[in-house]
Amino acid sequence: MAIVTMIEAITMALAYELEHDKDVVLLGEDVGVNGGVFRATNGLQARFGKERVIDTPLAESMIAGLSVGMAAQGLKPVAEIQFMGFEMSAWDHIYSHAARLRNRTRGRLTQPMVIRMPCGGGIHAPEHHNESTEAIFAHTPGLKTVMCSNPTRAYGLMLAAIRDPDPVIFLEPKRIYRIVKQEVEDNGEAAPLEMCFIDREGTDITLVSWGAMMHETLLAAEALAKEGVSAEVIDVATIAPLDIETILESVRKTGRLLIVQEAPRAGGVASEIAAEVAEKAVTSLLAPIGRVAGYDTVMPYYKLEKMYMPTTDRILTAARDLMEYA
Q: List, for residues 86-138, the tens digit of each pLDDT value.
A: 999 999 999 999 999 999 999 999 999 999 999 999 888 888 889 999 999 99
234-251 pLDDT, tens digit per residue, is: 999 999 999 999 999 999
Q: Which domain holds residue 275?
A: 197-324
Say which CATH number the domain at 256 has.
3.40.50.920
Is 289 found in the same domain as 156?
A: no
Say which CATH number the domain at 163 has.
3.40.50.970
pLDDT at 304: 86
Is 206 found in the same domain as 116?
A: no
* Structural domains of the chain, count: 2
Comparing CA positions, the residue from 78, 81, 126, 119 lying closest to residue 302 is 126
Query: For residue 229, is pLDDT > 80?
Result: yes
State the SS3 of the chain. CEEEEHHHHHHHHHHHHHHHCCCEEEEECCCCCCCCCCCCCCCHHHHHCCCCEEECCCCHHHHHHHHHHHHHCCCEEEEECCCHHHHHHCHHHHHHHHCCHHHHCCCCCCCCCEEEEEECCCCCCCCCCCCCCHHHHHCCCCCEEEECCCHHHHHHHHHHHHHCCCCEEEEEEHHHCCCCEEEECCCCCCCCCCCCEEEECCCCEEEEECCCHHHHHHHHHHHHHHCCCCEEEEECCEEECCCHHHHHHHHHHHCCEEEEEEEECCCCHHHHHHHHHHHHCHHHCCCCCEEEEECCCCCCCHHHHHHHCCCHHHHHHHHHHHHHCC
Is 164 found in the same domain as 226?
A: no
Is 233 found in the same domain as 169?
A: no
Query: For residue 326, is pLDDT > 80?
Result: no
249-305 pLDDT, tens digit per residue, is: 999 999 999 999 999 999 999 999 999 999 999 999 999 999 999 999 988 887 788
Query: For residue 202, is pLDDT > 90?
Result: yes
Q: Would residue 192 count as lying in a domain?
A: no
Comparing CA positions, the residue from 92, 86, 74 lying closest to residue 133 is 86
Cβ neighbour number for residue 168 with a 10 Å cutoff: 29
135-150 pLDDT, tens digit per residue, is: 999 999 999 999 999 9
Q: Would residue 79 count as lying in a domain?
A: yes
Q: Which residue, of 184, 218, 250, is where some domain finishes?
A: 184
Q: Would residue 191 count as lying in a domain?
A: no
Is 180 found in the same domain as 74?
A: yes
Is 119 found in the same domain as 226?
A: no
Q: Would residue 72 count as lying in a domain?
A: yes
Burial class, 37, CB count within 10 angstroms (exposed 0-12 / middle 13-18 / buried 19+)? middle
Q: Would residue 226 count as lying in a domain?
A: yes
Is 203 found in the same domain as 180?
A: no
Is 223 found in the same domain as 166?
A: no
Is 176 found in the same domain as 40?
A: yes
Q: Would residue 189 count as lying in a domain?
A: no
- State the average pLDDT for the chain: 96
Rounded distance between C-alpha atoms, residue 265 and residue 65, angstroms:
32
Q: Would residue 47 count as lying in a domain?
A: yes
Q: Which residue, of 184, 209, 243, is where some domain finishes?
A: 184
Is 113 found in the same domain as 64?
A: yes
Confidence of residue 11 (pLDDT cuts 50, 70, 90): very high
Is 167 found in the same domain as 75?
A: yes
Q: Would residue 190 count as lying in a domain?
A: no
Q: Which residues are catalytic?
A: 129
Is 154 found in the same domain as 12?
A: yes
